[in-house]
Structure 1
Amino acid sequence: MRFAQFAIQTLCYIERGNFLRASVATVGPVIFPTMSGVHHDGIESFAGIFHRCRWHRRTGGQRNEETQSKSTVDQSRHPISYSRSSSSAKNFCPEMSKRSRPSLVLAWCFEARFRKKRLFFMRPELKAFTSIMLTRSALLPLLLAFSVSTCKKHENLAASPQPQNPTPKAFGVATASPSINAAANSPAPKTTKPVVDQTAQVIVFGYHRFVTNVRHPDTEIMPAAFEAQMTELKNRGITVIGMQDFLAWKRGEKNIPPRCAIITIDDGWKSQYEVAWPILKKYGYPFTMFIYTEGVRGGHFGGGEAITWEQLAEMRDAGIDIEAHSATHQDLRKPYDKVARKRLSPPEYEQWLQNEIVGCKQLLEQRLGIKVNCFAVPYGFYNEHIKEVARNAGYEAIFTVYGQPLTYNAPLNSLGRYMIEANKPKVFADAVKMIGTSTGGAAAVAEVATTNLATQPADGETVRTALPLIRANLSAMGPVDPGSVQLRVSGLGLVPASFDAKTQIVSYQVTQKLREKTCTVILSAKSSGKKIETHWTFGIEETAAATSTSPTPTPTPKK
């Protein structure tokens, strides 16, 4: 209402050409309320006193006569309104009627009933409802709407919470743009781990020296026998993988084929660089070198048949994995230093053990600039204290010499290896049979890696539907007998897959929703009379699997 009153007064003054009063009526409501002791009702009248007084002193009695004549005319035109205005002024302050003039009524009320000094201003003359009043009626709603919107804006600003303890901007530091802030505040994309085949099995083979004349059959093997074993791994469909791929599978970060082998070579002999490496290159097999640092050329046990640091660096550059095998290659359980040739006290033993396990790791990492995360225990002798020291040193896996197939849940602190000896060829054959698919006289089956088959979904991939399209390209298998192609899906069994002999593509569209979160596909066929098999695993998003597992509600029959 105050805003409406000020708006009406301002329009009145503008119509009469009194711009001074218009400015006072507009600015006054903003400035005067901030001053203590000044009442808002007397703001405009207070300004009007000085304006009127100055004007009257200049014009003198001429202005009084004009005013009286004008008031007489106005009173004759609007007698009713004039009488009502006069009576209102008398009721407010009775003494006004004695001093009031027709054109201006001013009064100071000092009665006791008025606790505040109130300035009262009143103009009785009224104008006819002319075209100017129509303009005023049109502008008034606009001013009222503007005042209401302004009030609401201030109320919203007052109600909005202010930030607590705002962080001051550093001098000279540019403020990030809103787009950058939005990108920084946006949630990071969710990373989904690949689906791994937890039923896969891995065997680890261990070798030492490669010589043509075997004198120490427990650690030596002929190059021809070694190459024959590598050939057998290929013929049996056993995939040779790297050590770091194996550890990634154990962490659930990478998938591996169902039957795998790892090649490891211990100590650090020159023949490993000159003989074994070229053979493994021929087959494209990755392998791991377990090096004991004092056995490298220049070390305490590094003679003329030892490998050199330069050769190790060359193998490192070619992608060969190099890990730790202690410093002096001793039984770590015994407190005896064969370099110093003395027994060790408990404090000396702890210091010596730290050098054997931790010191060799640090030396390999510093000399070759690599990361060492595997430790092969010398002779396979260890205890809980040795495993604890190795774990505290940062080793992820500890290998022994007690061969066994390694599974997904095999403990990483005691991973067994099959150590191959020249006088015990049966060790290799038994290890292959442990993870081979042919047992009890059944026909041999060659395993093919899925990376050569362009499978869909890919091995380890997670799909968003429980009705995926399964397909693979069998051209890498060679000539395939179309009638021998079989496709099995976990949860569904043998499915009627279609095979295109021209494109060598086998495919099957799942029609029954898969219920599990993981799905395994086994694909087999015959090529040149030999059975070939491969299998891969993919995942299904939980929402899709949950939808397929929820039973379909049975509609209630209408009665």
Structure 2
Amino acid sequence: MLSTVRFSGLVLGTALSASITVQAQDYLPILQYHHVSASSPASTSVTPEQFMEHMDYLKSSGFQVVDLRSALDDLKANKPLPDKAVAISFDDAYQSIYQAGFPILKERNFPFTVFINTEPVERNSSSFLTWAQMKEMQANGGVFANHTVNHPYMLRKESGESDGDWLARMEKEVDTVEALLVKHLGHSPKMLAYPYGESDRQIRTMMKEKDIIAFGQQSGVVSADSDFENLPRFPAAGSYANLSTLKTKLDAKPMPLLSEKTGGDYATDQPVSIQLTFKEGKYRFKDLTCYVSGQGKATLDWVSDVEVVATADKPFGVGRGRINCTMPDESGQHYYWYSNVWIRSSPEQGYVSEKS
């Protein structure tokens, strides 16, 4: 595949007043699916008709569907991606991916990645993929990656479990799948999707030490500046399956941030806040909007020309809560996009301490 580089505003010598612009892309939106079925839970599903609509839109609109791991390697190395590059991913090894999703992908020659939890695969559950099906899909653009063995809440300890035993159990969840991928499919792409999107500093450090790229469930666009142990993806199922809103996400850019301060992975009984510091540039700061899940718009306090603090009005309830921020670019045709997730735990859930 040929890729080109953008040299925006490059002037060669003093005699040339024109600029040379060659299209390329230094960021990647990634779509996240689960079921492709009309009979599975609506919150994590697209119907086959919806999935075909999404894929047809990608093809007709000139999107270049790329292999996820290869594209991430290029971004990390500051190599350009094709213009309108996008990647497709699925979480969980559901049989509907093979039955309804794979034929659509194969017909369009679209590469895709499936993050598999191997326990139901190994016990031959009729609702999950078989290794033979995965081999067939692998021969037609499919890549299979790590979603742990048992799909646990990775930050929850079992009753009576020490912090050390918990971390060892999580390492086994990861290593077992890596070994099974190599055994049955010949290799591992060294990528993992956190079950429920949950991770903390210890888990992300484990991923970094194992040289595994990992994904959360916050929305956003990947760039070379992203945290490659906690990458964003755009959910494209359930309430997010509407094509008109999906178009906006496919055209999104990464928020041009120099730094962020989130206060950690866990929310408390106080409203969360996040401080964002922007890179130098010409941005439409007056149009920046941050939304708190279940609460509406966050309060924005600008502490300098390039620093803003977004604060929720109320504490989160138990579970996961988000702040999503968007801002139109200068052209008004794209949105910069950023999201952060916090966990509000309760004592009976057994979450590992943030300080441990």
Q: Deviations over 1:59-81 (max 9, x none)?
A: xxxxxxxxxxxxxxxxxxxxxxx
C-alpha distance in 2 between matches for 1:431 and 1:407: 19
C-alpha distance in 1 between matches for 2:210 and 2:245: 34
**Gap change, CA 1:343 and 1:431, over 3 Å in 2:** farther
**Gap change, CA 1:325 and 1:413, over 3 Å in 2:** same
Q: Which residue of 2 aligns with 1:457?
A: none
C-alpha distance in 1 between matches for 2:221 and 2:141: 25
C-alpha distance in 1 between matches for 2:246 and 2:37: 23
Secondary structure of 1:409's partner? coil
**1:358 Cα offset (Å):** 2.3
Q: Which residue of 2 aligns with 1:420?
A: 236
Q: Which of 235, 260, 264 lines up with 2:89 in the alignment?
A: 264
C-alpha distance in 2 between matches for 1:354 and 1:222: 35
- Asked whether the equivalents of residues 357 and 393 of structure 1 are also in contact (C-alpha less than 8 Å), the reply is no
Q: Which residue of 1 aligns with 2:167?
A: 350
Q: Does 1:433 align with 2:259?
A: no
**Gap change, CA 1:414 and 1:253, over 3 Å in 2:** same
Secondary structure of 2:223's partner? coil
**1:366 Cα offset (Å):** 2.3
Q: Does 1:247 align with 2:72?
A: yes
C-alpha distance in 1 between matches for 2:72 and 2:45: 28
Q: Which of 367, 370, 373 lines up with 2:184 in the alignment?
A: 367
TM-score (norm 2): 0.60
C-alpha distance in 2 between matches for 1:196 and 1:308: 41
**Gap change, CA 1:316 and 1:424, over 3 Å in 2:** closer
Q: Which residue of 1 aligns with 2:135?
A: 313
C-alpha distance in 1 between matches for 2:135 and 2:154: 28
Q: Deviations over 1:303-338 (max 9, x none)?
A: 2211111111222233421111111111101113xx
Please list every run of 5 or more consecutive structure 1 residues that lacks an aligned counterpart in the other structure: 1-193, 337-341, 438-559
**1:343 Cα offset (Å):** 4.8
Q: Which of 111, 124, 147 lines up with 1:325 in the alignment?
A: 147
C-alpha distance in 1 between matches for 2:141 and 2:108: 15
Q: What does 1:167-182 correspond to in 2, within 5 Å? A: none
Q: Which of 106, 122, 128 lines up with 1:281 in the alignment?
A: 106
Secondary structure of 1:296's partner? helix
C-alpha distance in 1 between matches for 2:72 and 2:251: 22
**Gap change, CA 1:295 and 1:254, over 3 Å in 2:** farther
Q: Which residue of 1 aligns with 2:219?
A: 403
**1:271 Cα offset (Å):** 1.4
Corresponding letter in the other structure for 1:252: A
C-alpha distance in 2 between matches for 1:264 and 1:288: 5
Q: What does 1:153-302 correspond to in 2, within 5 Å? A: 196=5, 199-213=25-39, 215-252=40-77, 254-298=79-123
Q: What does 1:476-515 correspond to in 2, within 5 Å? A: none
**1:433 Cα offset (Å):** 1.7
**Gap change, CA 1:367 and 1:292, over 3 Å in 2:** same
Q: Deviations over 1:145-178 (max 9, x none)?
A: xxxxxxxxxxxxxxxxxxxxxxxxxxxxxxxxxx
**1:429 Cα offset (Å):** 3.6
C-alpha distance in 1 between matches for 2:79 and 2:70: 7
C-alpha distance in 2 between matches for 1:200 and 1:431: 20
**1:347 Cα offset (Å):** 3.0
Secondary structure of 2:115's partner? strand
Corresponding letter in the other structure for 2:56: T
- Higher Cα radius of gyration: 1
Q: Deviations over 1:450-487 (max 9, x none)?
A: xxxxxxxxxxxxxxxxxxxxxxxxxxxxxxxxxxxxxx
Q: Deviations over 1:89-136 (max 9, x none)?
A: xxxxxxxxxxxxxxxxxxxxxxxxxxxxxxxxxxxxxxxxxxxxxxxx
- Asked whether the equivalents of residues 147 and 194 of structure 2 are also in contact (C-alpha less than 8 Å), the reply is yes
**Gap change, CA 1:210 and 1:288, over 3 Å in 2:** same
- Asked whether the equivalents of residues 333 and 382 of structure 1 are also in contact (C-alpha less than 8 Å), the reply is yes
Which structure carries more helix by proportion? Answer: 1
**1:248 Cα offset (Å):** 3.0
Q: Does 1:392 align with 2:209?
A: yes
Matched residues, percent identical? Answer: 23
* Deviation beyond 4 Å, 4+ runs, structure 1: 194-199
**1:348 Cα offset (Å):** 2.0
Q: Does 1:335 align with 2:157?
A: yes
Corresponding letter in the other structure for 1:349: W
C-alpha distance in 2 between matches for 1:405 and 1:347: 34
Corresponding letter in the other structure for 2:234: Y
C-alpha distance in 1 between matches for 2:53 and 2:112: 17
- Asked whether the equivalents of residues 358 and 390 of structure 1 are also in contact (C-alpha less than 8 Å), the reply is no
- Asked whether the equivalents of residues 93 and 128 of structure 2 are also in contact (C-alpha less than 8 Å), the reply is yes
Larger relative contact order (Cα-Cα within 8 Å, sequence gap ≥ 6): 2
Q: What does 1:442-457 correspond to in 2, within 5 Å? A: none
Secondary structure of 1:412's partner? coil
C-alpha distance in 1 between matches for 2:139 and 2:85: 24
Corresponding letter in the other structure for 1:412: F
Secondary structure of 2:221's partner? coil
Secondary structure of 1:202's partner? strand
Which structure carries more strand by proportion? Answer: 2
**Gap change, CA 1:272 and 1:199, over 3 Å in 2:** closer
Secondary structure of 2:42's partner? coil
Secondary structure of 1:423's partner? helix
- Asked whether the equivalents of residues 203 and 431 of structure 1 are also in contact (C-alpha less than 8 Å), the reply is no
